[in-house]
Structure 1
């Protein structure tokens, strides 16, 4: 349980969770290095392709060898088989796009943090009843920041992290935090296809530092 709380603390302290997938292993590793160089200490790699498991194992090796303090999670985990596979591969936490109690059980039985994706109050409640301490509001673009403040007091024990619909601008980020989120998921707005395609890792490090600076000014 302590490990779960430590990871929640780390994500909440960082105030954002970068997430990405690339089928090329070298690109995946270099993106992680660029994020780490910017000061990121928690990342979600997403299970979005046939290469995800092997790439994740390679990332785990790099983290173990040269990235002290980095928490490596896996996202888009929908089945028990996927959960078991990534737990065996050394995931620090597991994120699902949906609320599926059998996956929650497998993850929590392994002593890991499970962060499910939710949209409706019923889904959020189901997640809470299945042990979630933090939920991903996904896709955030559908509901917008005001949705968080509208539902937040129904779930005083839960932390909210929107993913999708969060821009890298100070205005966008501030609006989400003003409405009560503890962190924001940052995907393609931060780690764009262009950055990965053109291997612009320095650009990614610079942009990530800018976003971290914006976040550090948020109360």
Structure 2
């Protein structure tokens, strides 16, 4: 990890110290682990300026006991897995009563699926499959469910949306969004995508909006 990046993470850690329940050291360790959970305690100690990994181990154990670190995970490269399409479905209810009815159906279906199939929701499609990553139940200015998942293709995501939401719940407003790239991913700015976008806008100038957007959607910016 280069010095510039380390200094920036340290700066953010100090800000978290001011506004969160973490002190600067814990925040620094947490952010380094979020970026790479495989980093060794020895390497963490070097970045933090500790003599050895024992001090790092003390901080990580404390955060684990306090529930700040709930688990260590990985981030798959979904394109290489064979699920390149990331989709977001917005299912908007017209009122709270309708949303509650949908919520009840969802809970019953999820419970039945879990008891029979397991805890990972994977739906086979004609040409591939869809796997759900997150389902958010949102209340605020609008009441809606937000479904985030991965699919083997844009078409599979569209078919899933139609068959499992539009056709089942004809009275709710459903919008399917296909994510083409991220400029911020899991709290960190994606420098690769940002660089490509800066280059793109410098080269394209002020062309026709429709053509520019179409080209933008097909830029190789993802993982």
Q: Structure 2 length as normaliser, TM-score?
A: 0.23
Q: Greater Rg, structure 1 or structure 2?
A: 2
Q: Structure 1 length as normaliser, TM-score?
A: 0.24
